Amino acid sequence: MEGPTLLPPVEPFRIKVVEAIHLLSPVEREQALKRAHYNLFNLSSEEVYIDLLTDSGTSAMSDRQWAALMLGDESYAGSRNFRRFEQTVKGLTGFPYLLPTHQGRAAEHIFFSSLLKRGDIVPNNMHFDTTQEHVRRNGAVPLNAVVREAYDPRSEYPFKGNMDTGVLERILRDEKGKVPVVMMTLTNNTGGGQPASLKNLEEVSRICHTAGVPFYLDMCRWAENAYFIRKREEGMASKSIREIGAEIFALADGATMSAKKDGLVNIGGFVATRDEKLFERMRELLIVYEGFPTYGGLARRDLEAMAVGLEEAMDIDYLDHRVGQVRYIGDLLDAEGIPFVHPPGGHGIYLDAGAFLPHVPRENLPGQTLSIEIYREGGVRTVEIGGVMFGEGKDMSTRLELVRLAIPRRVYTASHLAYVAETVKRVWERRDNLRGTRMSSASESLRHFTAHFEPL
């Protein structure tokens, strides 16, 4: 068959436990929006029908993971669950020093606080919101150095998570001595869940090491990134996800991880490194902020479930379905000509709100407006990734004004996804009537979580 078939990917699992969901009436949804001050983070989950706010910590665990929880050895120190977790992560990444944390941002906190000083510069392909905040809180400057194709939602460039190596080389030359680490985020969450190629990772690693600067990964969605490398990069089709992972991690000096993504757990994370001195400094902070190094802010049973989840995330049937689900929504939206970041990413569809609502000026928040409207139309919760999350100055404009439909892992079926596409299509059909939104109150940092809004 040629082109998109609009046939949904078949779930590579059957359902053993169910959780009821219910669609509120239009009047109830309107009341919920008002009460939430038009910030979808303030909705209660019963007010949401299909929740695509995030893929973080929202996965369904497998029967094997639930069974693993029963093997919890809740010893304060030296739990056997830690040993299994450690073996799994070290086997996967080859990083010799490992600290568990309760989630990704705790790993970022411990990593950056141990490494950065005021005036430092941290290049990344594109910073995620919490990563950027941790860099800033340590007095350093986050710089995005992603390839320029990443800023063109219509470009089909297959590796929009790649670092612009020319820009990176210039930063390392001009800011010599001020860059204590270079990071790459796999996949590029802020820019559409887009992967980096192995070739680009190799070049970045070489550039960093020539300049004597360590190279770290934000490996939250490393398995999805490896899947794209397998599909799109020459000579990789016969390699397993584990083998591709080994090649990726061999290039880096360490990583931070939110296991709420490709760890397939509801809470958990870690930081890993090859640098013994850094490890010792991080371990001190870990004990102050998270807990003893053999549990790091988690129940020991969580470490066991994480070890199983990290293995399951490499399964090719699982990844075919996962990435296939995202592509399926993309194909349904493409059939209507609805603009989103192409090609479809690994964990979600990112609607191009700027192109969806070209008549809404940036200061009237087209992304926020669109995400509110998608909830109003069908009870589907999404998240703005644009001016509210990243914008600065009066008009709050960002290079990309997006609305992310993040797909939780193993949670929704193809009919849920078809419903989501239909909901977006109905908003698309009446887009000319949408006017925009005003931000009526906001906090200093990470304001998207708590800001209040009013419709215009």
Ligand X SMILES: *Cc1c(COP(=O)(O)O)cnc(C)c1O
Nearer Cβ to ligand X, position 58 or 423?
58
Return the residue nearest ligand X (CB atom).
104
| Min dist. Cβ of residue 282 to ligand X (A) | 16
> According to the 3-state scheme, what is the secondary structure of the chain?
CCCCCCCCCCCCCCCCCCCCCCCCCHHHHHHHHHHCCCCHHHCCHHHCCEECCCCCCCCCCCHHHHHHHCCCCCCCCCCHHHHHHHHHHHHHHCCCEEEEECCHHHHHHHHHHHHCCCCCEEEECCCCHHHHHHHHHCCCEEEECECHHHHCCCCCCCCCCCECHHHHHHHHHHCCCCCCCEEEECCECCCCCECCCHHHHHHHHHHHHHCCCCEEEECCCHHHHHHHHHHHCCCCCCCCHHHHHHHHHHCCCEEEEECCCCCCCCCCEEEEECCHHHHHHHHHHHHHHCCCCCCCCCCHHHHHHHHHHHHHCCCHHHHHHHHHHHHHHHHHHHCCCCCECCCCCCCEEEEEHHHHCCCCCHHHCHHHHHHHHHHHHHCEECEEECHHHHCCCCCCCCCCCEEEEECCCCCCCHHHHHHHHHHHHHHHHCHHHCCCEEEEECCCCCHHHCCEEEEC
| Min dist. Cβ of residue 221 to ligand X (A) | 7
Nearer Cβ to ligand X, position 218 or 352?
218
| Min dist. Cβ of residue 57 to ligand X (A) | 7
| Min dist. Cβ of residue 220 to ligand X (A) | 4
Nearer Cβ to ligand X, position 51 or 218?
218
| Min dist. Cβ of residue 37 to ligand X (A) | 23
Nearer Cβ to ligand X, position 413 or 450?
450
Residues in the site for ligand X, rule: CB under 6 A? 56, 103-105, 128, 130-131, 185, 189, 218, 220, 258, 260-261, 269
Nearer Cβ to ligand X, position 8 or 309?
309
| Min dist. Cβ of residue 288 to ligand X (A) | 18
Nearer Cβ to ligand X, position 8 or 161?
161
| Min dist. Cβ of residue 18 to ligand X (A) | 26
Nearer Cβ to ligand X, position 120 or 218?
218
